[in-house]
Amino acid sequence: MARLVRNVVIGTTVLAAAAVLIGVVLPLIGGKAAHAVPLAPSAAPQGEYIGTKQCSACHFKEYMVWKKTKHAKAFADMPAKYYGDASCLKCHITAYGVAGGYKGPSTPDLLGVTCEVCHGPGSKHAEAAKKFTDKKVLTDDEKKLVNADIQRCVTNVCIMCHTEAAGHKEHPKYDKQ
C-alpha cells in the first residue's frame, strides 16, 4: 500500500510539473466542467475506476448521502481559474493522473471526490457482483467473493489531500471566478 501511495504522489508531482512546463490548457464544457487527460499516468492500481453512476446502481442510499457532501462538489465548486492546475485537480478529480482513472469527458462520473477515492477502483468489485444481481441476501462466501477487490477505506487516503505536505493548507476562499 505504501508503494501505491508513493507512486500516486510521484505520478501526480510529475504530472503537475509537466502541466506547468508545457502550459496545459483544459477545455471548459458548459462553462463549468474541465476535462483533462493525464499526460503521464502513474502505476495502475488493481482494476479500473468505474465512477459514481455504476456505484449508485447497487449502493443508491450511500450515493444519495455522498451527493450532499462537499466531497461530491469538490470539482464543481472549484473556480475555473484552477482548472489548469494539476496540483488542484489531483485532489478535486478522482484518479486524476492515475492509469485506469480519469480520462477526460469520457469519465465525468470521476469529477469530485467519489466513492473510489476511499474504496479503490471498483471494476473488479462490480464484475464480481454482477452474478448476484438477482439475489437479495448473499451468503458469507458470496459476500467475500464480491468484496475481495474493494476496500473499506484505502489506508491514509485522507492525508493525500488534507495535509500541508500535499499542498493543501487552510482552503482559500474562492472568489467564484
pTM for this structure? 0.68
Distance of CA 123 to CAs 21, 53, 119, 156, 167, Å?
34, 12, 11, 22, 30
Per-residue pLDDT of the chain (177 residues; tens, 9 = 90+): 455 444 444 444 433 333 322 233 233 233 333 444 333 344 445 789 999 999 999 999 999 999 999 999 999 999 998 888 898 999 999 999 988 889 988 999 999 999 999 999 999 999 999 999 888 899 999 999 988 888 777 777 888 888 765 555 566 666 654
CA distance 94 to 104: 11
Amino acid (one-letter) located at 17: A
Count of H-run helices and E-run strands, the chain? 7, 2
* Domains of the chain with bracketed CATH: 2-28+47-166 (1.10.1130.10)
The CA radius of gyration of the chain, in Å to the nearest whole number, is 17
CA distance 40 to 46: 18
Grid coordinates belonging to 20: 506547468
Contact 4, 45 (CB under 8 A): yes
User: Which residues partner with 98 through β-bridges?
Assistant: 42
pLDDT in tens, 66-110: 999 999 999 999 999 888 889 899 999 999 998 888 998 899 999
